[in-house]
Amino acid sequence: MEKLTLSALSSSYLKRWVNLTEYGIAEYDWLNVDAIILNETELQQLQYLKLKLRNSRLLLMNEATIWARGIYPLLSLAEQGPIQAWSEVALHATYSQFELDGIADGVLGKCVSGFLESPYLVVVEAKRGLEATNPVYQLYGQLLAAAHLNWENDSQDPQEIFGCYTVADSWSFVRAEIAGLSADKPTLRVEFSREYSERSEAEILVKILKRIIAKYHHQPV
C-alpha cells in the first residue's frame, strides 16, 4: 500500500495512481451565480473586508495572517445551516492501492455534534518563498481524500466535490468528479474557473461559494 502525503504530490506521481483528466478554464454552469442574491448585512461585511484588504500589503504578509484577514472571513460568509467553515482539517483516505494523508488549510462541510462529517469544498492556501510549490496537485489529493470520505458516508460513485486554491488575494476554483472509488486506479476529472481577485471581486467569490454549498444544503438557487 503506497502512502501519499498531500503536501508532496506532483503531476507524475499522482498519475501513477489516478486516471487524471483536466478540462481547463471555461465558463462552466457551476460558476453561473446570476441567481444568488446577497443580503445587506453580507454586502456591508464584504465592503469592510475589501477596504481592509485594499489597505494591506498582502505580498509582505505570511500565510497565516492572510488566512485570518482575507480567506476565512469569506468562507464563513458562505455557511448555511450545518455547513460550516473549518481551518486545519486532517484528511485521510484509503483507496485500493494507496493512502492519502495530510491537512487541508480550510474546508466547508457538514458538521454534526462538533465534528466535521462531510467535506464539500477544500481549500489550499499556496505557500510562498522557499516553500513554494504548485498548489494544484496538493488540491487534487485533497479532493480525492474528501471524495472518499463522502463515499464512505453515502456510497455514491462518482462523487462530485469542489475545491479552490488561493495565492495572496487571488482565488481559483475547481469542480471535480471522482469515479471508481473502489477501483485499483480511480478516475479524477477536473474543471477550472478563472482567477478571481478578492479585493475587486469579493461579491462574486461569496456567490460562487454559496452556489456550491446550496448543492448540498438543498436550497434553491
- Characterize the bridge pairing of strands 187-197 and 98-112: unpaired
* 67 within 8 A of 105, measured Cβ to Cβ: yes
* Rg from Cα positions in the chain: 17
Question: What pLDDT score was predicted for residue 220?
Answer: 43
Q: Residue 132's pLDDT band (boundaries 50, 70, 90)? A: low
Q: What is the pLDDT of residue 59?
A: 62
The count of domains in the chain is: 1
pLDDT, tens digit, for every residue of 10-62? 888 899 999 999 998 999 999 999 999 999 999 999 988 888 777 766 666 67
| Widest CA span in the chain | 52
* Average pLDDT, rounded, for the chain: 89
- CA-CA distance, 71 to 125, in Å (whole number)? 9
What pLDDT is recorded for position 186? 97
Q: Which amino acid is at 95?
A: Y
Expressed as residue numbers, the domain containing 155 is 2-217
E strand residue ranges, 62-186: 83-94, 98-112, 115-125, 159-167, 170-179
pLDDT in tens, 69-110: 888 999 999 999 899 999 999 999 999 999 999 999 999 999
pLDDT at 6 over 60: yes
**Residue 198 binned pLDDT confidence (cut-offs 50, 70, 90):** confident
CB 53 within 8 A of CB 198: yes
Evaluate if residue 130 carries a pLDDT over 60.
Answer: no
